[in-house]
Structure 1
Amino acid sequence: MTPAAVPANGQVLLLYALIAIITLIVLIARAKLNPFIALAVVSLGMGVAAGMPLTGIVNSFQAGVGGVLGFIAVVVALGTMLGKLLAESGGAERIARTLIGIFGEKNVHWAIMFVAFIVGMPVFFQVGFVLLVPLVFTIARRTGTSLVLVGVPLVAGLSIVHGLVPPHPAAMLAVGTFKADVGLTIIYSVIVGLPAAALAGPIYAKWIAPKIQLPEHNPLAEQLGETSRGEDLPGFGISVFTILLPVLLMVGSSIADLTLASGTPLRNTLNFIGNPVISLLIALLVAFWTFGAQRGFTREDLQKFTNDCLGPTATILLVIGAGGGFNRVLLDSGVGRAIADMATSLHVPLLTLAFVVAAVIRVATGSATVALTTAAGIVAPIAAASPGAARPELLVLATGAGSIILSHVNDSGFWLIKEYFNMTVAQTLKTWTALETILAVSAFAFTLLLAQFV
Structure 2
Amino acid sequence: MPFLVLILGILLLLVLIIRFHVDTFVSLIVTSILVALGLGMNPAKIADALKTGIGSSMGELIIVFGFGAMIGRLVADAGGSYRIARTLIDKFGKKRLQLAVVVASFIIGISLLFEVGLVIVTPIVFAVALEADVPFMYLGIPMAAALSAAQGFLPPQPAPTAVATALGANIGEVLLVGIVVAIPCIIVAGPIWTRVIRHFMPDVFVVKKSLPAFGEMKQFDIKDTPSFGLSLLTSLFPVVFMAVATIYSLIVNGGRTIKNPTGVDAWVSFFGNPVIAMVISMLFAMWSMGLHRGRTMKEIEGTITDAVKSIAMLLLVIAGGSAFKQVLIDGGVGKAVQQLMMHTSLSPIILAWLVAVILRVSLGSATVAGMTAAGIVFPLMTSLHADPVMIALAIGAGSLAASHVNDAGFWMFQEYFDITVKQTFAIWTSLETIISVVGLLMVLLMNTIIN
Alignment of 1:51-450 (within 5 A): 51-209=40-198, 211=201, 213-214=203-204, 218-223=211-216, 225-228=217-220, 230-258=222-250, 259=252, 263-387=261-385, 390-450=386-446
Moved more, 439-448 or 200-209: 200-209
CA–CA separation in structure 2 for the residues paired with 1:129 and 1:330: 26
* Deviations 1:205-260 (CA, angstroms, capped at 9, x unpaired): 1221351535956322425x435455422222222222222112112223443415
* Deviations 1:240-291 (CA, angstroms, capped at 9, x unpaired): 2222221121122234434158633211111111110110111111112222
Find the counterpart in structure 2 of residue 8 from structure 1.
none
Does the CA-based 8 Å contact 1:60-1:332 persist in structure 2?
yes
Alignment of 1:33-52 (within 5 A): 33-52=22-41
CA–CA separation in structure 2 for the residues paired with 1:37 and 1:108: 39
What are structure 1's unaligned runs of at least 5 residues?
1-11
- SS of 2:22's equivalent in the other structure is coil
Offset, 1:298: 1.9
CA–CA separation in structure 2 for the residues paired with 1:358 and 1:319: 24
Moved more, 255-264 or 109-118: 255-264
CA–CA separation in structure 1 for the residues paired with 2:198 and 2:263: 50
Offset, 1:403: 0.3
Offset, 1:193: 0.2
CA–CA separation in structure 1 for the residues paired with 2:158 and 2:85: 31
CA–CA separation in structure 1 for the residues paired with 2:139 and 2:63: 26
Moved more, 263-272 or 13-22: 263-272
The amino acid across from 1:417 in the alignment is F
* Deviations 1:401-433 (CA, angstroms, capped at 9, x unpaired): 000000000101111111111111001101111
Offset, 1:80: 0.2
Q: CA RMSD in A?
A: 1.7
CA–CA separation in structure 1 for the residues paired with 2:47 and 2:261: 39
Find the counterpart in structure 2 of residue 17 from structure 1.
6
TM-score (norm 2): 0.94
CA–CA separation in structure 2 for the residues paired with 1:43 and 1:212: 35
* Deviations 1:273-328 (CA, angstroms, capped at 9, x unpaired): 11101101111111122222222222222111111111121111111100000000
The amino acid across from 2:362 in the alignment is A
Find the counterpart in structure 2 of residue 29 from structure 1.
18
CA–CA separation in structure 2 for the residues paired with 1:209 and 1:288: 39
Does the CA-based 8 Å contact 1:343-1:360 persist in structure 2?
no
Matched-pair identity in %: 36
What are structure 2's unaligned runs of at least 5 residues?
none
Find the counterpart in structure 2 of residue 7 from structure 1.
none
CA–CA separation in structure 1 for the residues paired with 2:324 and 2:443: 32
Cα distance change, pair 221–137 in 1 and its aligned pair in 2 (3 A): farther
TM-score (norm 1): 0.93
CA–CA separation in structure 2 for the residues paired with 1:442 and 1:142: 33
